[in-house]
A and B are shown apart, each in its own frame.
Chain A
Amino acid sequence: MRFIAWQMLTGDKAKYLGLIFAIAFSTFLMSHQVSIFCGLMNRTAAQIDDIVDAKIWVMDAKTQYLDEVKALTDQDLFRIRGVEGVEWAVPLFKGTSRAKAPDGRFRGIILMGLDDASLIGMPRRIIKGNIDALQEPETIAIDQVGYKFFFPNEPVTIHRTLDLNDHTVRIVAVVDSNAPFVNLPVFYTRYSQAISFVGRERNQMSFVLAKAKQGIADAELNRRITAATGLKSLTANELGWETIWYYIKNTGIPINFGITVVIALIVGTVVAGQTFYLFTIENLKQFGALKAIGVSDLRIVGMILMQALIVGAIGYGIGISMTAAFFEAFQSNLDLRGFRMLPEIMQGTAAVVFFIVILASAFSVRKVIVLEPAVVFRG
């Protein structure tokens, strides 16, 4: 009967292709939009992901997310270092400034000030140059997107200069960092240099990065730091999620993406469901004949589900391939860094498509189940 189900499904090419298109379109929209949304949300925590050396982030107790901080004092740093279980703790400056290229083009930038001695927080992948040269005065490392902006269509070289808040800074390294939310260039320098670049204020330490001693769990160290200092102490992962949730709760981004995904879900379900239902209605006499001939309801349900699953599998395959092709095509585009289709999105979309085709076939199944086989004797 699988053969008959397959032939019935593919016999009407227009409806067959219509069903596949509906599922493929729905799959593409859902997987694509969810991927973009996840990529965008991941970008909000890009600077956290870049810092792989430190698992503990300490900040003011009222801090809500990464990009809005109240500066800590030097005393806070010493108190954190004094907490039992802290292996090391270093300052981190995160701020914004404006940089200008020799040709006059300028742009707001994200400035990261890393611990002078250890440079903890520097991205691992160095494209050009040497980060040890950051020990020299008025030097920075720049991410490749920033470099491409200030020196478009030029090969990546070091020792070029930029104007940063009336300081002429020299690029000593070009690094590969995660794309930030607003895709601004990211500059890395020593903490003391960063302070001098942006102008001295009373307190400018954005975060303290710390590491737990061996045998001390991160959660336990967080608890101890908060108890000892009254500051908020989170793991990098926790701060990342707090930042992501801040954007989810306080921007219209999830609503916009959510609407698109829901529309894709509805369009997929309605179009596939309606086409599938019409397909069944048109074949009702044939199903009635099969029932009369001696094909059980269970086998007919099996035939319909098989048709639905075939359509779902082919449509999903096409849709997910379209999404994969999109991200593959734009993989080399630096502005779209961080946007990719995660395996979880593929799995989630597959589950939703499965739900769509089962729902779409449910009405058809019901129609056939209640169909009286004697209908075939009514002309």
Chain B
Amino acid sequence: MNTQAVVCNQVLKSFGAGEDEVKVLRGVDLTVPLGEMTFLVGPSGCGKTTLLSVIAGLLNPTGGDLHVLGTALHQLKSSKAVEFRRENLGFVFQQFNLLPALTAAENAAVPLLAANWPLKKAVEKAKTLLDELGLGSRVNARPNQLSGGQQQRVAFARALIHDPKLIVCDEPTSALDEHTGHYVMELLRKIAVRPERAVLVVTHDNRIYNFADRIAHMNDGLVTHVEQNGGMN
């Protein structure tokens, strides 16, 4: 059985061409194991978000070998890649990116709606999940009626509702104060980390490093070293 959610082998990513070419990833080697929460950390501009985008199939690598859940995602046809993302990946964005016109429950249900679930059934499931996340009384609130922490919890619900095998989070605490950031990370760790699932978090918030099982340090387009962390155990 494959125990690695992500395997990067000499992954390259450049933008532009010729003299304007910017090499953002310069041969990344990284494995993200299932059942763990892996943090990708490093200074601004080191390529964390680009690597996350490549792993999530939102950008194609320029070179190297990349397998996500055993699939060479970048070699899939565009429509297959979209389908793969829809079924296997959950996303948590820095700015939450909730749809302002939808309620919390409807926002959380979006991945199910994208998978053609009936609206009522999808929203019911979202309400149950939001209840587990402590938002049972706010399921009908719109994003502008929720605090930052509550919005992030809705985003977690959206990332988890379709039971993906890989969750990618981009700076999940950067828009939150320390207390709320701590709380949502605790929650994320509690509900997201499963033996059959990996969680990959990009962050530069060192206040939350203790939630990681392992931390991959990046610098100048490379993963320089990976340290085991223990994940608050």
Using CB atoms and an 8 Å cutoff, list the residues of chain A in contact with chain B.
1, 3-4, 7-8, 10-12, 285-286, 288-296, 299, 372-374, 376-379
* Whole-angstrom CA separation of A377 from B89 in the bound complex: 15
B49–A293 CB distance below 8 A: no
Contacting chain A: which of B91-99, B206-214, B218-226? B91-99
Task: Give the docked Cα–Cα distance between A372 and B97 (Å).
Answer: 15
- Using Cβ atoms and an 8 Å threshold, which residues of chain B touch A299? 114
List residues of chain B with CB within 8 A of the CB of A293: 85-86, 91, 110-111, 114, 158
Known A-B contacts A292-B85, A293-B86, A373-B58; A285 and B95 likewise in contact (beta carbons under 8 Å) = yes
B110 near A377 (CB under 8 angstroms)? no
Q: Which residues of A contact B87 (CB under 8 A)?
A: 294
Q: Is the CB of B53 within 8 A of A374?
A: yes
B83 within 8 A of A: yes
A377 and B101 contact, Cβ closer than 8 Å, known pairs A292-B85, A293-B85, A293-B110: no
Q: List 24 A-B contacts (CB under 8 A).
A: A1-B114, A3-B119, A7-B99, A7-B101, A8-B99, A10-B101, A285-B95, A286-B100, A289-B93, A292-B56, A292-B85, A292-B91, A293-B110, A294-B114, A295-B82, A296-B79, A296-B82, A374-B53, A376-B91, A377-B58, A377-B93, A378-B49, A379-B95, A379-B174
What's the Cα separation between A2 and B7 when bound, in Å?
37
Interface string of B44-79 (1 = CB under 8 A from A): 000001001100101100000000000000000001
CB-defined contacts of A377 to chain B, threshold 8 Å: 49, 52-53, 58, 93-94, 170
Cross-chain contact of A290 among B53, B84, B101, B110 (Cβ < 8 A)? B110
Are the CB atoms of A290 and B58 closer together than 8 Å?
no
A140 CB to closest chain B CB (Å) equals: 69
Q: Are A289 and B91 in contact (CB under 8 A)?
A: yes
Residues on B lying within 8 angstroms of A by beta carbon are 49, 52-53, 56, 58-59, 79, 82-87, 89, 91, 93-95, 97, 99-102, 106, 110-111, 113-115, 119, 158, 170-171, 174
B187 to chain A minimum Cβ distance, whole angstroms, is 20
Query: How far, in Å, is A18 (CB) from chain B's closest CB?
Result: 16
A4-B99 in contact (CB<8A): yes
Q: Which of A4, A12, A374, A377 has the most chain B CB within a 10 Å cutoff?
A: A377
Q: Which residues of B contact A12 (CB under 8 A)?
A: 101
* A374: B residues at CB distance < 8 A: 53, 58-59
B93 closest partner in A (C-beta) = A376
Q: A4-B113, A292-B56 are in contact. List 15 more A-B contacts (CB 8 A).
A: A1-B114, A4-B99, A4-B102, A8-B99, A290-B114, A293-B114, A294-B111, A295-B86, A372-B59, A374-B58, A376-B97, A377-B53, A377-B58, A377-B94, A379-B95
> What's the nearest-Cβ distance from chain A to residue B193, in Å?
21
A-side binding surface: helix, strand, loop or mixed?
Answer: helix
Interface residue from A7, A10, A373, A376 paired with B106 (Cβ < 8 Å) = A7
B85/A294 in contact, CB under 8 A: yes
Bound CA–CA A11/B114 (angstroms): 19
CB distance from B134 to the nearest CB of A (A): 23
Give min CB distance, A292 to chain B, whole Å. 5
CB distance from B102 to the nearest CB of A (A): 5
- Chain B nearest CB, measured from A178 CB (Å): 53
CB neighbours of B58 from chain A (8 A): 292, 372-374, 376-377
In Å, the complex CA distance between A293 and B99 comes to 13
List the B side residues contacting A376 at CB < 8 Å.
58, 91, 93, 97, 170
Name the A residues within 8 Å of B106 (CB-CB): 3-4, 7
How long is the Cα–Cα vector from A374 to B168 in the complex, in angstroms? 12
User: Which chain B residues lie closer than 8 Å to A292 at the CB level?
Assistant: 56, 58, 85, 91
Minimum CB distance partner of B115 in chain A: A294
Which chain A residues lie closer than 8 Å to B79 at the CB level? 296
* Alpha-carbon separation in the docked complex, A293 to B93 (Å): 11
Residues of B within 8 A of A285 (CB): 95, 97
A352 to chain B, nearest CB (A): 29
The residues of B that contact A11 with a CB separation of less than 8 Å are: 99-102
Smallest beta-carbon distance A368→chain B, Å: 14
